[in-house]
Structure 1
Amino acid sequence: MTTITGYKFANLSSEEVEAMFEIKLQETRVYREAKEEGRQEALEKGREQAKLELIPRFLDYGISIEEVAQLLDLTIEQVEKIRLVTEQESLTSTL
């Protein structure tokens, strides 16, 4: 609805559109659902980023690649890829 009203009434502010239809755009179901979906996506991205940051730490503690994959619910290939990238970054930073 926000997109439609924004397109159809591009010359009006959101406050003017809200007054015209006697609604708050933030209170519409579509707005709430989109906002919640955005929160869920951000939360999931944060979780994935945390997993990726934990891989080198776990490996530094001597945990095997297989165990790291199992602990973080990743594939062995994903863990190996991050291990290789981390090694490359540490080699580049020491040069």
Structure 2
Amino acid sequence: MLGLDIIRNTRVYQEAYAEGEQKAKLETVPRLLKMELTVEQVAEALNLDIEVVQQAVPKQP
């Protein structure tokens, strides 16, 4: 598994991994809000800034 360790240490891999983590967190925001958590609670649970959570809130038509 030496090859995989080398790949995991690359900047490109690290950036892609971080982007994937952020995307997953943002996709979770609406579900947590439906469970009646506050924006502040969601931000704390997902370790995100409140502003980021507010931007991820789906717009109501």
Common fold: TM-score over 0.5 = yes
Q: Which has the higher contact order (CA 8 A, sep 6+)?
A: 2
**What are structure 2's unaligned runs of at least 5 residues?**
1-5
TM-score by length of 1: 0.51
Secondary structure, in 3 states, of the residue corresponding to 1:87?
coil
Q: Using the aligned pairs only, state the percent identity.
A: 36
Q: Would you tell me which structure has more helix in proportion to its own residues?
A: 1
Match of 1:82 in 2: 56
Cα drift, residue 40 of structure 1: 0.8
Cα drift, residue 75 of structure 1: 1.4
TM-score by length of 2: 0.76
**What are structure 1's unaligned runs of at least 5 residues?**
1-31
- CA RMSD in angstroms, aligned pairs only: 1.8
- Can you list the C-alpha shifts for 1:62-81, whole angstroms capped at 9, x where unaligned? 11111000011111111112
- Can you list the C-alpha shifts for 1:39-94, whole angstroms capped at 9, x where unaligned? 111100000100110101100111111100001111111111211xx125xx2xxx
Secondary structure, in 3 states, of the residue corresponding to 1:62?
coil
Matching of residues 37-76 of structure 1 within 5 Å = 37-76=11-50
Could you list the structure 1 runs, at least 4 aligned residues long, displaced by more than 3 angstroms after superposition. none
